[in-house]
Amino acid sequence: MRMVQRVARERVRSLAVPLGVAVLCLSLVLGGLLLIIHRSTKASPIHLRSEDIAPALSLRTLAGDADSAILDEALEEGKLETALATLYYSTSLSDRERVNYYLTLGQKFAAEGHKDRAFFAYAQATSILLLSAEPFDEYKANAHLQVGKSQAALGDRTNAERNFDYAYTIARYSPYVPEAQRHFILSNLASEYKTLGLDRKSDESTRAQTNLPPTVAAPA
């Protein structure tokens, strides 16, 4: 009898990782589809203010300068519209780089009171995170958390909750996120959900920390 129980437990453990991956993939695919449907009903992307774009800086891409170098300089000099145009049309940056830049740009726009542009930057970061095929779950979970925090700070509760939900799904079900990072993200989510008045989700984030799937090495 004990042997049967032990075999049953081992089978359950062996299924935990593939089941967790399946749940994670399904959740993120559905999230991506909903995002595409949502965006397809919206107007075209934000209108760039050509009069606020620095020609000398933005045209350096034609001279072979890296987009990242132009973005860094534009952000440092406070030329946010130039940074936005460069980032939006860039084809050389990795998904992770694009998310980082959009998050930074959103925070700078928010600090200057340009909420519409901050909302746009955070929406772009969310889109990239959801649609990216790059296997960096640990980064994605933390990035969704940071984007959600930034949206909540602007009063965008709906999209903040959505990003918190994405972060929760990855941290809760992905076997590729280190355990310490999972606890960190879920603990933060419990606090953020509580701030938004989402007590049930806050409690779920707290409970999830005691029932996490085994951690495995992320795919190369």
* pLDDT computed for residue 4 by the predictor: 44
Taking the C-alpha atoms of residue 126 and residue 32, their distance in angstroms, rounded to an integer, is 10
Whether the CB-CB separation of 40 and 194 falls below 8 Å is answered with no
Domains of the chain, first to last: 2-208 (1.25.40)
Which tokens sit at 149?
A: 């925090």
> Each residue of 37-55: pLDDT tens digit?
343 333 346 777 777 687 7
Mean pLDDT of the chain: 83
> Each residue of 54-81: pLDDT tens digit?
777 877 877 778 999 999 999 999 999 9
The residue ranking higher by pLDDT, 15 or 194, is 194
| Four-residue CA torsion sign, 198, 166, 190, 142 | negative
Name the band, by pLDDT with cuts 50, 70 and 90, for residue 129. very high
- The count of other CB atoms within 10 Å of the CB of residue 24 is 21
* pLDDT computed for residue 218 by the predictor: 75
Which tokens sit at 153?
A: 């700070």
Taking the C-alpha atoms of residue 107 and residue 113, their distance in angstroms, rounded to an integer, is 10
Taking the C-alpha atoms of residue 100 and residue 190, their distance in angstroms, rounded to an integer, is 24
The residue ranking higher by pLDDT, 196 or 60, is 196
* pLDDT computed for residue 60 by the predictor: 83
The 10 Å CB-count burial string (b at 16+, else e) for 114-146 is beebbbbbbbbbbbbbbebeeebbbbbbbbbbb
pTM over 0.85: no
* pLDDT computed for residue 40 by the predictor: 34
**Non-local CB neighbours of 143 within 8 Å, separated by 6+ positions:** 99, 103, 125, 129
